[in-house]
Amino acid sequence: MASKALSFDVGDYVVYPKHGVGRVIELQSTDIAGMQLELYVLRFEKERMTLRVPTNKAESVGMRKLSSDKTLKEALETLKGKPKVKRTMWSRRAQEYEAKINSGDLVSIAEVVRDLFRADDQPEQSYSERQIFEAATSRLARELGAMEETDEVGAQTKILEILNKAAPLHVKEKAE
């Protein structure tokens, strides 16, 4: 068996791209079809889900430690940027947004949050826009919360404060 490039300990927060932030609750060794298999047992509290990931597959599925402070700063800066809305069909944009969310990349998730954010004085979002916005915001907030040792609600409040401060600046740019 190849040496493990990634190693996580019990209690570590990890990011699993398709599910977001989870916690390693156990390292398990099990026998499957006569082969000894080492597994990380991950717990995702929000989804009330437990996932078992073979230790030798952790890297190939994209499992990673929480982002670095540098990446977090970059993601929060991304939120302050001007929203980029492509003029393509919604179904195509929705697929791109979903792909960014499922990539597990914090900056890509921040881009989705920024692009789909609507301030109180802006037009309403469609139901599907709202769903994707909430999924991206939740994913970003869970990682931010785990990194800053706060809860998801507190992290979401921080994200919305950043977005609400930046929104008027971009409206002024349009008017000029």
What is the set of domains in the chain, with CATH numbers? 13-65 (2.40.10.170), 69-175 (1.20.58.1290)
Share of the chain above pLDDT 90, in %: 63
Token code pair at residue 80:
């302050």
DSSP state of 59: T
Mean pLDDT, range 146-150, rounded to an integer: 90
Mean of pLDDT over the chain: 88
pLDDT grade, residue 124 (50/70/90)?
confident
pLDDT one-digit tens code per residue, 18-76:
888 999 999 999 988 888 999 999 999 888 899 999 999 888 898 999 999 999 999 99
Given this model, what pLDDT does residue 172 score? 57
**pLDDT for position 125:** 87
- Give the Cα separation of 168 and 176 in Å (integer): 13
Burial class (CB in 10 A: 0-12, 13-18, 19+), 2: exposed
Lowest mean pLDDT of 40-49, 116-125, 141-150, name the range.
116-125
